[in-house]
Amino acid sequence: MGQEASQKIKKEEPLSEDPALVNRVQRVGGRIAAQTDSEYEWEFNVVDKDVLNAFALPGGKVFVYRGLLEIMETDAQLATVIAHEIAHVIARHGAERMSIQLGTALVGQAAGIVLDMSDPTAARVFQQAYGIGAQLGVILPYSRTHEYEADHIGLILMAKAGYDPEAAVAFWERMMEENKDEKNPPAWLSTHPLSRERLREIKQEIPGIKRRYYQG
């Protein structure tokens, strides 16, 4: 299902052909993915839209929007985003959410739906689980618990890949600054708005993670 969704997105969304942007995302993403010990066939793409967004699909298909890349001051800040999305994949957060939706809204139909993405109901459930929007690309509407877990795993992955976890603080502070005057947050943050509590959690975790994992 993740592969099918990825192919659909590639047909509908403009993918960047800027070698500098694409190579940057693939280089940083590859370093982080190498730390996961997973068997996913990781793939990193750049969507050529001025949108503050990023997302990952089952099976390791990661997409980063050009608008988000343009506010990244360092590769370590980009690593914060990609590591967070990779963390959602390896923790199977999207699958958990989809299972909940199937269990609550589609009792009795689940088996057939899961096996057939061409089924309109299956497609709708998948889109809801992974936040696929027709106009805005993809959001990951995970719960607060999933977000904290992805933050934690992401910090570890970026540190093991040689990126300073301190960059996560700079990135999230930049995102807060970018959105301070916005009535509605961008797609990437709309379902889990950044809070000072979340940033505080990240700051508290960084010293221990740096001592244990970071060799930079």
Task: Please give the pLDDT value at position 92.
Answer: 80
Number of domains in the chain: 2
| 156/61 same-domain check | yes
pLDDT for 149 beyond 70:
yes
Picking from 7-11, 50-54, 176-180, 201-205, which range would have the lowest pLDDT averaged per residue? 176-180
Stated pTM of the model: 0.78
Task: Please give the pLDDT value at position 111.
Answer: 43
Task: Please give the pLDDT value at position 146.
Answer: 78
* Active site members: 85
| 115/195 same-domain check | no
Q: What is the DSSP code (8-state) at residue 57? A: E
Domain that holds residue 107: 96-129
| 153/62 same-domain check | yes
User: What is the per-residue pLDDT across 65-81, written as a single tens digit (0 to 9) for each?
Assistant: 999 999 999 999 999 99
| 82/148 same-domain check | yes
Dihedral angle of Cα 94, 98, 100, 105, to the nearest 10 degrees: 150
Contact 138, 190 (CB under 8 A): no
| 68/151 same-domain check | yes
